[in-house]
Structure 1
Amino acid sequence: MESTFRDFRQEFSNAYPGDKRRHLRFLLQDYIPIGVLARTNISGMELFNELQNKGVIAYNNVNVMSEIAVLTENAQAKASVQNYKTEVGAQYDRSGTSMYLSLYRKNLYKAIIAMTEENGGDVENLVGFYGLRHLGHQNKWDVVFHLEKEVELKDEQKSLTSFANQLNKTAKSILIGQEVSRPITRGATPMSTATDGLQFAGPIGGVVTDSTSTTSRPTPATTGTEVNEDDFKLLKMIVSAYYDDRNCLIMLRVLFGDHVQTQQQQTINTTIDFLNALAETDDLSSDDISIIFDTINLTGQYGLQREIQAQLPSFPKVKKIPISTFTPYRQNIMKFGRGIGEQDVTKIDGYYNTPVKRYESSWKMIYDLEFRNIIKEKNIKEFIALLKKLKLPSTAESFE
């Protein structure tokens, strides 16, 4: 079966030669780090091998590829998927726990298709608005890829509105004329038959409907923290991919400073390493995923909530959930790290370090100062007093 699956991946890849490869690079950003996708010479087969290695696709489930074929209206790719599903037959996984493209990515793809590239068109507007003239002549796929890579464009209302305002009426309507982050329906495309998976404990409340579905699905009236084992594995994968794609590891080192010891952190290189470490200490389990809620709240990465909801629609709105797994001190540290500016970091660096270390971010500074016991809960009052002496009262307020 592995050879058949490999042949299928190659056949599917062949359906996207040349410039069509840009479409794949864009659509697969939900699952493949943008640094990997930025390799302009990467082949389609390499892309789908990456998906296989990450567990996004398997010999018995290729729903992401199925969605891509339909979305890109690629007849060759659609035929390839249908033939492969027929060949796999009864072995094909229809349990509903597989991956799909996010609604944000699908709507953005449709908007790009509707964008204009001629002189004075959408691309020229974007180049001018975002100051991209240093990139030289770019097509619309490369421009959007660059904007997402530099986090100028992301799945947040303010960012999407700024981007959409530079587009023609049709493209703009596609992008912000609908709620781009609403949960997508499992099986919404003709080739997909999956059903909802994630269910949280607690009584059932109202329903949430989706523009791509004629059915409604329940959403919890109260927040439950339990998930089944399959959805727990999927949840960890989504969380890990999201933070890794955004190079958030150093921020997570600070966040989990009270949960994962410094010595153990030295062996951690990816978000999934952190999640597995938390699972080992029972801080995270399928019986209690509260720390995921708190992590999203304390890092302010609410786009992750939408990414999870796109595949696991019962996931709750975490803003309404009180922090329960982090101390007030750690919460204040995270508030401090998110609120401090580059000039503030420079001042603190200059005070503590000779020569200065020129920290690349507030998180690297905090991690270093905590490691050296300069910042710690017992002496936090002294640190606050220093911030005030350095004329950084707004940062000092993070601890009050």
Structure 2
Amino acid sequence: MANEQEEKDRYTEFLKNLSDEYKGEKCRWLRFLLCDYLSESLLTNKDVFAFDLFNQIREKNIIKHPEVNLLSEIAEVTDVAAAKLVIEDYANGVKRGRTLSPYRKALFAALIDVIPGDFRKLQSSYELDRCCFYDKWDLVLHLEIKGRLDNTKEKIKQFADILSDKKAKDKLSNLSTLTETRENLQSTSSVEQLGVYAPAPKELNRKNFNAMLLKTSRWYQARNKLTMLKLLFTNDVKASKEFDDVKSLFDALVESRKIYVRNYKYLIDMVKVTDTRGVVEDVELLSDANKDGKITSFTPYRLTLMKMGNALSKDEAKEVGSLYDVPQNAYTDQWSLIMHLERTKNVFANGAREFVEDLKDIGLHHVASKLITTNKRSCSPDVPKSKKKKKR
């Protein structure tokens, strides 16, 4: 255990040393290259330094000791010799884990060549306020965040047509060709062998992703599923009880990078867990929810609570509320009741035996069975573990 902690501390020191090589404009390079993994608030915060960015992706398990693949690739793309040496000196570095997409690398290579005159042309063409952007990196990040630039051929071409610098235009032309090739090969089995990046469906750019979220949130809002989703997302967004509608809840998930353009499996798992596959009829991009596949976005404990909520009727929820002296104004349905019981520590992942017996006593065997099944194997980190009694 001590050795493992020592390795983690050594990795932290390694990240500090590496961050020292990304200051000033180089920090903006880093922010740009990592933007697929970072929240919008972090991307737009000018007081964030390189080590903050590394810490953020470490907390999200995008990098972890002793992996250096993503970091090594950043050093190569930015061609920072000192950063390469820091990585080389970290002897335990292992080249595995996530990497940068070809789109991100190619766009970075093109932006390096964008001249000040073209920067001003971009501000004018995209009708951006000049006082808001002081360099090309912040400007392009803004365009990507707002969905005005992404890895679609049309938007890359629109961006390239504004530029006058031949080097940048040529690189963007190559990027456009890469994008077209990726789209043509995306459905073939040879994509991985050719090394072509194949993320979400080609029609899913940031604009369509936002449209998907809007349609999905409308579907759940129209069916009064807000409290159900609050229970499901309790550990994924801060103060989920404060959200007044499904759209604001989804916005918080985007902000925390639980869902983003290249990965919306979280939403697919959400549909499976809540057994609301009817949403697929309105939101075709969620069709994978109808396929078999392991649910990895939520803990067994959280799944148990969802099963319990699905098993309880509103009248039965009132019975459970009365059993635990929960004021009727403290909940509106079975989902908000379960949230209340969770906050007051009446439901635990490994200590629900008494709760199960209480449900049986009032005749709710079908609800108790939902807890019994999962309690035998549930070992969730998001709830307190019950203390084991010593054998006499």
- TM tier, smaller: 0.5 to 0.7
Cα deviation 1:75-119 (Å, max 9, x = unaligned): 1111111222x235xxx364xxx21111111111001001111xx
Matched, 1:145 2:141: yes
How many residue pairs were aligned? 243
Secondary structure of the corresponding residue to residue 79 of structure 2 = coil
CA contact (8 A) 2:212 2:285 kept: no
* One-letter identity of the residue aligned with 2:33: L
Kindly, what percent of the aligned residue pairs are identical?
27
CA contact (8 A) 2:11 2:65 kept: yes
Aligned to 1:67: 73
Of 26, 39, 51, the match for 1:45: 51
CA contact (8 A) 1:253 1:265 kept: no
Aligned to 2:115: 116
Aligned to 1:381: none
Question: For 1:104-253, what aligned pairs fall within 5 Å after superposition?
Answer: 104-117=103-116, 121-135=117-131, 138-167=134-163, 168-178=165-175, 179-181=177-179, 207-208=190-191, 216=194, 249-253=213-217
CA contact (8 A) 1:260 1:278 kept: no
What is the Cα deviation at residue 180 of structure 1? 3.8
Distance 1:54 1:126, change over 3 A: same
Distance 1:258 1:27, change over 3 A: same
Secondary structure of the corresponding residue to residue 15 of structure 1 = coil
Matched, 1:87 2:92: yes
Aligned to 1:319: none
Q: Structure 2: which 5+ residue stretches go unaligned?
A: 1-6, 201-205, 234-248, 260-265, 292-392
What is the Cα deviation at residue 34 of structure 1? 2.5
What is the Cα deviation at residue 22 of structure 1? 0.7
What is the Cα deviation at residue 278 of structure 1? 3.7
Distance 1:183 1:9, change over 3 A: farther
Question: For 1:285-304, what aligned pairs fall within 5 Å after superposition?
Answer: 297-298=284-285
Cα deviation 1:335-363 (Å, max 9, x = unaligned): xxxxxxxxxxxxxxxxxxxxxxxxxxxxx
Q: Structure 1: which 5+ residue stretches go unaligned?
A: 185-203, 210-214, 220-233, 236-241, 285-290, 300-321, 327-400
Q: Take 1:115 and 1:69, find their aligned partners in 2: how far apart are those partners?
A: 20
CA contact (8 A) 1:259 1:278 kept: no
Distance 1:276 1:259, change over 3 A: farther
Query: What TM-score results when the alignment is normalised by the length of structure 2?
Result: 0.52
Distance 1:10 1:246, change over 3 A: farther
What is the Cα deviation at residue 24 of structure 1? 0.8
Q: Take 1:22 and 1:79, find their aligned partners in 2: how far apart are those partners?
A: 21
Q: Take 2:101 and 2:71, find their aligned partners in 1: how far apart are those partners?
A: 13
RMSD value, Cα? 4.1
Secondary structure of the corresponding residue to residue 67 of structure 1 = helix
Question: For 1:378-393, what aligned pairs fall within 5 Å after superposition?
Answer: none
Q: Take 1:127 and 1:25, find their aligned partners in 2: how far apart are those partners?
A: 20
CA contact (8 A) 2:153 2:179 kept: no
Cα deviation 1:253-277 (Å, max 9, x = unaligned): 2356799944312343425664543
Matched, 1:254 2:254: no
CA contact (8 A) 1:30 1:102 kept: no
Aligned to 1:78: 84
Specify the structure having the higher radius of gyration (Cα): 2
Matched, 1:29 2:21: no
* One-letter identity of the residue aligned with 2:270: A
Distance 1:274 1:216, change over 3 A: closer
Aligned to 1:329: none
Q: Take 1:170 and 1:20, find their aligned partners in 2: how far apart are those partners?
A: 21
Q: Take 1:40 and 1:246, find their aligned partners in 2: how far apart are those partners?
A: 25
